[in-house]
Amino acid sequence: MSYRKTLLGASCSLCVHSLRALLAFSLCCFISGYSEKDRAHNLLSKYPVIDGHNDLALRLRIHYNNQLSKINLTHLTRVATDISRLRAGHVQTQMFAVYVLCGAQHMDAVRLTLEQIDVIRRICTEYPDFELVTSTQELRDSMTKGKIACLISIEGGHSIDSSLPALRMFYQLGVRSMSLTHSCNTPWYSKEHAVSKHHISYTSNNSLTTFGKAVVDEMNRLGMIVDLSHTSFETASAVLNHSKAPVIFSHSSSYMICNNPRNVPDWLLQELKDNRGLIMVNFYSPFISCQKKATVSHLADHFDYIKGFIGAKSIGIGGDFDGGTSFPVGLEDVSKYPVIVQELLKRNWTEEDLADVLRNNFLRVFEEVEKVRNELSWKKPSEEEIPLTEVANKCRLELKQPIIPSNQSPSLKAKGHNLLFLALALLFYFFP
């Protein structure tokens, strides 16, 4: 009887010890898991995200025809971006892309670009959570005020219709970055593929034409960030060697990890480091895993590889939300940035490295762009024009005084002159 009691007591004691061990293990896992999550959120609270590329404006056009009166941007369905999710994802600065389809090139691209700038300016001024910013100082101030800073970028050089005055006017409207190409070539730059799906192809311009150099020079003079995402490798290299200011790839990843032409090969990454520029890693699944689906681990591999090759100080974030249609599981919208931070913390990224990637690197690049602008303040606006033969645009009107044929009667000539003088008088009256 005593033996059985002893055996039973020993068994109970073993059960108690096992239960305690199991509870302790579960508690450790529980605490460890939450502390890692908390660590990511705490880090993001100190260094909130500056994201280099978001296509919300395009989705507003597609789904709502830019009619902001019909939506509530605080909570918005059908898109990956709204104010509540930006807040949840600790996004403090968002570069909103102005994208116009390449089919508008040589047609109404400038008008459409103006309309897209208008909708971004409206969302960033009508909603008190947002603040439109145009400088690093304003960006820093917006963080102090608890605002989500809005920066405007143009995606695709076709939006300026080969016109430096148009580029300057976009700058006056608040545009602070422009990618030189998109899915179509321009007369002065080439995109990542040799043939344009929009039948607009200038395949000989794989480096820089004279006008292409003038565009980069004018962007440097204005203080506008040059964006090389979507350019061909040769064009990107030529720009990296020509620009006086650091440049960015606003939403591109590592070609070594995924050999998609939208990503950046090692030799260009090295040139980017020499330029003191930035590659802002894209989250779009086909650019991450070279497949339709991807995981957070696939994405983290790009961060790891680029960090190992050129260092964390050359990396930023360019999620491409609302541009792409497939994102890694767990990273489906702008609220999920803590997920990638957690993954990088697991991979022993330091707080300093993550602070640089999340925020500090972009601020440095933007400040250096502004420094170059200040150094070039003595330069006058460029008057470089692209030859009409290079544009080959039937819709492009050449403004010249009408030529009256020599065989025309004096009375008709006089009438022609009188009409011309009347038109000029009216022009100066209404537009002094």
Residue of 158, 230, 298, 302 marked active site: 230
| 55 carries an active-site annotation | yes
How would you label 88-125 residue by residue, b for 16+ Cβ within 10 Å and e otherwise?
Answer: bbbbbbbbbbbbbbbbbbbeebbebbbebbebbbebbe
Residue type, 209: T
| 106 carries an active-site annotation | no
| 155 carries an active-site annotation | yes
| 161 carries an active-site annotation | no
Residue of 251, 333, 343, 356 marked active site: 251
Residue of 51, 53, 106, 227 marked active site: 53
Residue of 55, 301, 333, 343 marked active site: 55
DSSP collapsed to 3 states, the chain: CHHHHHHHHHHHHHHHHHHHHHHHHHHHHHHHHHHHHHHHHHHHHHCCEEEEEECHHHHHHHHHCCCHHHCCCCCCCCCCCCHHHHHHCCEEEEEEEEECCHHHCCCCHHHHHHHHHHHHHHHHHHCCCEEECCCHHHHHHHHHCCCEEEEEEEECHHHHCCCHHHHHHHHHCCEEEEECCCCCCCCCCCECCCCCCCCCCCCCCCCCCHHHHHHHHHHHHHCCEEECCCECHHHHHHHHHHCCCCCEECCCCECCCCCCCCCECHHHHHHHHHHCCEEEECCCHHHHCCCCCCCHHHHHHHHHHHHHHHCHHHEEECCCECCCCCCCCCCCCHHHHHHHHHHHHHCCCCHHHHHHHHHHHHHHHHHHHHHHHHHCCCCCCCCCCCCHHHHCCCCCCCCCCCCCCCCCCHHHHHHHHHHHHHHHHHHHHHCC
Residue of 90, 106, 182, 302 marked active site: 182
Residue of 51, 192, 271, 320 marked active site: 320
Residue of 131, 155, 161, 301 marked active site: 155
| 353 carries an active-site annotation | no
Active site residues: 53, 55, 155, 182, 230, 251, 320
